[in-house]
Structure 1
């Protein structure tokens, strides 16, 4: 049977795409092998030198493996950003709010010239750059019967558009694609498409395992509240000896944990500065700087900007939250620089914190200063900062999958 020239051309094009995919997967296989080699030889001393930064110490689960993985990412990783969609809705996001992580990542990705590729055949992952915050702003219908229906239709239409125009979504059923959202509705809106929810890498501030967050596939996004869009004035703090307050919290009744915290500790103990509202004239950030421990309870959702605020101001975070996957926990050993307590532990909170010796506290506080670099938003981004740590987390999830050429 004769084959038309058009069919031959398509077949050859598909084959060239398959060859490129095979090369991508071969590069990823070599990266996996290099990282596994480091993991297999954990007792071996590695003489590594990096002029910028060398991960080391107990704040990392395995500093050598992390460094090897990071370097493999720098050598290899490429991201393709879909450009379909109008800029006010897609390719944009807030940079001065509690959702600033979302907007800053999209903005940095737009300016990216090292990890971003303009050739989708060369990409290891494909970014769906819709901002949930902007979608809520422009098309949310608050008094409709199904208030999120329009948002879900928009995401559905967007994925259908790119899946018809490009072969990459259908090739992997979305497994080498990622969305990123710091809005509370991000996880729910990912249900707009079953493959987006179950296959794609979802980079979410609301990293709640009880609501379907899968740590092996999804990425926990730090929630960072940049009120002015800048880090100026909110990074750094005094030494342990200049922190007279044992613990500090200020925040309204939001979610199930804070009412219990306020019931047990509000205005009960001078060393436990627990407030619903700060007294007039008292600075929130200055109180964090005066405190050894900063209480970080979740609200209605699991993430809290207080965790990163505490790290910025070098106050040891005390995390009260169930089902929360902490950011960068593949690489970071949160037990080394933070305290986790359960809801049932709240009445014993002072005893728990007082039981931490001065020596151990000083170690923890120094470790907070070490991990601080991984949560800082720089303009432009710098190696090992929060932007690159988010990319590295996505890179690790891409290493977990293999995309096979189509038959």
Structure 2
């Protein structure tokens, strides 16, 4: 493109005069050159003035206030919004330079199920969230011979029943069994340790027992082919139970980070809370089971019978899509057991600043080394549920402000949320940290695994 010469001062004046004036009182006919020159000159001058305005204005970046993120919720925003703030693991030494190989299974084991959007957002979706985070993680290795652990990405909670809309896991055993046969026939790594360095997710009611009813889960037990592996599971109790009879890491249920962020933008954690005690959820399974005998060990039914109509208690039995806004407005959030001891309310309460009231005898809570549950929650025995009113009134009159201060520590919230990319301190990072404490199971580190299996035979 040829060099464009700057016109002389006199020539510029002459051109401007030709543009602005007419000859003999009649407009002159402008040829192509003049029309072209006029528009180039006008465009150049406009761009110069426009760019100068933004370059020189204060010479400062936009302030944090203009992001419209409240100061109360910014800490949670930084820990949950993986789309806008990616924080890779900054110190691999914290994880003992952990290396994980992620099997690339055929899509019928995982990604085919994502055609249903609920698969990646419901309470069991940790199996999807952890998989996604590991694929983008610094600990992932593409060399299986240097791996400490092998992650088997099978989604078993994505098959939703057409009858009630809940996840149906009757196919879980056959699907995982098929995956084990595949990797054991195509790779040598499963057979050399009988799967002891392989990791699975079982994020449903009774973990790797794959059943929602406890008696049936206990009867089925954990499949033999998984008993030597590591199970990432939401189910955990402090007493001996067949459904945790395998090496396991207790994980929180999945809560979509974007839903939490939306709630916090409207209701900051330190905002006004006009609901004293909150619960929304099932009170009994079926009208024929009004006693609640077969669900929640009667706990939810007793709460309804005792406190429905009590103005201190905001109890609702029907679903509401925006219920997280109710949690963000509440002082105490009841977290009674359902089919299993754990509940997604545990996570939702913590991340939205509502004091969780845990009613599930013997429950084991996730990531106790990172989340000091005794300082941010209350525990009420199942048999004391009728005393909830005076118990919570006493706490409100004594140490509520201390509990809330501890609860609002962003580290607690971060540890319970899964993100698309691992962030230091978040839920997937806590899983990796727990695995890093189990490196004695790593074949690649030569920790005597072979002799261990020899002694088992």
TM-score by length of 2: 0.63
Displacement of 1:130 in angstroms is: 0.6
Offset at residue 223 of structure 1 (A): 1.1
Change (3 A) 1:248 1:403: farther
Deviation at 1:334, TM superposition (A): 0.9
Q: 1:309 to 1:72 in 2, by over 3 A?
A: same
Residues 35-94 of structure 1 show CA distances to partners (whole Å, capped at 9, x for unaligned) of xxxxxxxxxxxxxxxxxx9xxxxxxxxxxxxxxxx864445111111123x214235652
The corresponding residue for 1:277 is 318
Please show how residues 151-230 of structure 1 align to structure 2 within 5 Å: 151-184=172-205, 186-189=207-210, 193-196=223-226, 198-208=227-237, 211-214=241-244, 217-226=247-256, 230=259
Aligned partner of residue 130 in structure 1, secondary structure: coil
Residue aligned with 2:123, SS: coil
Equivalent-residue separation in structure 2 for 1:120 and 1:367 (angstroms): 42
Name the residue aligned to 1:87: 107
Query: Is 1:265 aligned with 2:326?
Result: no
SS across alignment from 1:293:
strand
d(CA) in 2 for partners of 1:359, 1:174: 51
Residue-by-residue CA offset, 1:75-124 (whole Å, 9 max, x unaligned): 5111111123x214235652222223221111222233x01111112111
Name stretches of at least 5 consecutive residues in structure 2 with no aligned partner. Answer: 1-74, 76-90, 211-219, 286-294
Secondary structure, in 3 states, of the residue corresponding to 2:399? helix
Displacement of 1:293 after TM fit?
A: 0.9
- The separation in 2 between residues aligned to 1:72 and 1:360, in whole angstroms, is 39
* TM-score for the superposition, normalised by structure 1: 0.70
CA displacement at 1:304 relative to structure 2: 0.9
Change (3 A) 1:216 1:335: farther
Q: Aligned runs of 1:275-354 on 2, under 5 Å?
A: 275-277=316-318, 284-354=323-393
1:129 CA displacement: 0.9
- CA distance in 2: counterparts of 1:331 and 1:215, whole angstroms: 24
Q: Which residue of 2 aligns with 1:26?
A: none
After superposition, the C-alpha distances for 1:169-215 in whole angstroms (9 at most, x for unaligned) are 2222222111013233642249574141x321111123355643449
Match of residue 38 from structure 1: none
Q: Are the equivalent residues in 2 in contact too, given 1:78–1:115 (CA < 8 A)?
A: yes
Cα distance, 1:222 vs. partner?
0.9
- Which runs of structure 2 are paired with 1:371-390 in the superposition (5 Å)? 371-390=412-431
Q: Which structure: larger Rg?
A: 2
Shift of 1:294: 0.6
CA 1:248–1:101 in structure 2 vs 1: closer, same or farther (change >3 Å)? same
Corresponding residue for 1:119?
A: 143
The superposition leaves residues 293-343 of structure 1 with CA deviations (integer Å, 9 ceiling, x where unpaired) of 111112112221111111121111111113432111244321111111111
Determine helix, strand or coil for the equivalent of 1:346: helix
Q: Specify the SS of the correspondent of 2:101.
A: strand
